[in-house]
């Protein structure tokens, strides 16, 4: 099992945005991480972008069992089917996540408080501070 922590944020909504992910082994050894500047977009697009980047990294690393931990309740509930995805751009991002999921034998999505997602949250802010 690996753990993927992802986050995204925008300063203004829409506004300058960034996403980030951290991929850890079960014993919390860092496997990969990245922060990505996205330009002008919304907070929700940034959240999805961080998740997609993290899922792609996990696939590249050969991870088969993954628990994704996000502080975006919206994304977790949309992926889980509890909330509908109405906005067309969000539908495309949601579809990308769904297309990546079969690459894993097990993939779970868990909503966590921001305090438990501090590394990804901090990296988003570092990327934004560097770009704006």
CA 122-127-132 angle, 5° bins: 125
Over residues 103-116, mean pLDDT: 96
Per-residue pLDDT of 38-65, as tens digits, reads 999 999 999 999 999 999 999 999 999 9
Show the beta-strand stretches assigned E in the chain. Answer: 2-10, 15-25, 30-41, 65-70, 106-111
Residue 71 exposure: Cα atoms within 13 Å on the Cβ side: 19
Task: Kindly state the DSSP code that residue 114 receives in the 8-state scheme.
Answer: G
User: Would the pLDDT of 74 be above 80?
Assistant: yes
Query: For residue 132, what pLDDT is reported?
Result: 77
Respond yes or no on whether the N-terminal peptide bond of residue 14 is cis (omega within 30° of 0): yes
Q: Which domains does the chain have, with CATH numbers?
A: 2-131 (3.30.420.10)
If DSSP codes are grouped into helix, strand and coil, which group holds residue 38? strand
Residue 82 burial (10 A CB sphere; 0-12, 13-18, 19+) = exposed
Backbone angles phi, psi at 30, to 5 degrees: -70, 130
Average pLDDT along the chain: 97
Over residues 119-132, mean pLDDT: 95
């Amino acid at each position: 099992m690996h753990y993927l922590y992802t986050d995204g944020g925008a300063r203004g909504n829409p506004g300058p945005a960034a996403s980030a992910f951290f991929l850890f082994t079960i014993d919390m050894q860092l496997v990969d991480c990245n922060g990505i500047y996205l330009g002008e977009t919304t907070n929700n697009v940034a959240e999805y972008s961080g998740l997609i980047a993290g899922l792609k990294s996990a696939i590249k690393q050969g991870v088969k069992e993954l628990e994704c931990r996000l502080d975006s309740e919206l994304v977790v509930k949309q992926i889980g089917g509890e909330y509908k995805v109405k906005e067309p751009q969000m539908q495309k991002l949601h579809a990308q996540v769904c297309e990546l999921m079969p690459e894993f034998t097990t993939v779970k999505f868990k909503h966590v408080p921001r305090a438990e997602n501090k590394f990804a949250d901090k990296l988003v802010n570092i990327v934004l501070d560097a770009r704006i």
